């Protein structure tokens, strides 16, 4: 069997936006029957929350919308680029930080903004809901869900090019 296609979502601390995106996209992968071909995970650019679960507001919004919420925060490491196919940044700051961290130009090209997969998006950042209320987490979920079909289509296309799907 071919190596799985690996997607990693990255935000700041890996407790709000990226675990939410990971849960939503894993559900889309499962629904598409691609769970044996695609691995989905997440990480943060910083290490402040390593080992922590997702923010309780993230968990609450995910559960209320039928998503799983098992999570343990991790910090992204440059050596991960070698095994990842796509690194999905949640905002322009993460995009810049990740591309700077990339060991090669090919690795930097693996980094994309999540909302770039949403054809209706005007602002490509997913705002950080951490310092606000539950409504910010609900908005985050809406933005993640809106970008997921486009990202799924891109992953399916990449799998087809690989001859894996």
Q: What amino acid positions are annotated as catalytic residues?
A: 11, 17, 128
Contacts of 105 (CB under 8 A, 6+ apart): none
Distance from C-alpha of 30 to C-alpha of 22, rounded to nearest angstrom: 12
d(C-alpha 102, C-alpha 132), whole Å: 31
Contact predicate 90/121, CB 8 Å: no
Angle (nearest 5°) at CA 67 between 64 and 68? 115
């Amino acid at each position: 069997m071919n190596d799985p296609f690996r997607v990693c979502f990255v935000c700041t601390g890996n407790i709000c936006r990226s675990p939410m995106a990971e849960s939503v996209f894993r559900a889309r992968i499962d629904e598409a029957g691609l769970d044996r071909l695609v691995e989905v995970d997440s990480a943060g650019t910083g290490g402040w929350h390593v080992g922590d679960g997702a923010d309780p507001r993230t968990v609450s919004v995910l559960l209320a919308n039928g998503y799983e919420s098992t999570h343990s925060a991790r910090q992204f490491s440059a050596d991960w680029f070698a095994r990842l196919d796509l690194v999905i940044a949640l905002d322009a700051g993460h995009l810049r930080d990740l591309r700077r961290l990339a060991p090669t130009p090919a690795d930097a090209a693996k980094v994309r903004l999540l909302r770039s997969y949403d054809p209706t998006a005007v602002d490509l950042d997913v705002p950080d809901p951490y310092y606000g209320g539950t409504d910010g987490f609900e908005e985050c979920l809406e933005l993640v869900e809106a970008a997921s079909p486009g990202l799924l289509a891109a992953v399916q296309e990449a799998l087809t090019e690989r001859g894996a799907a």
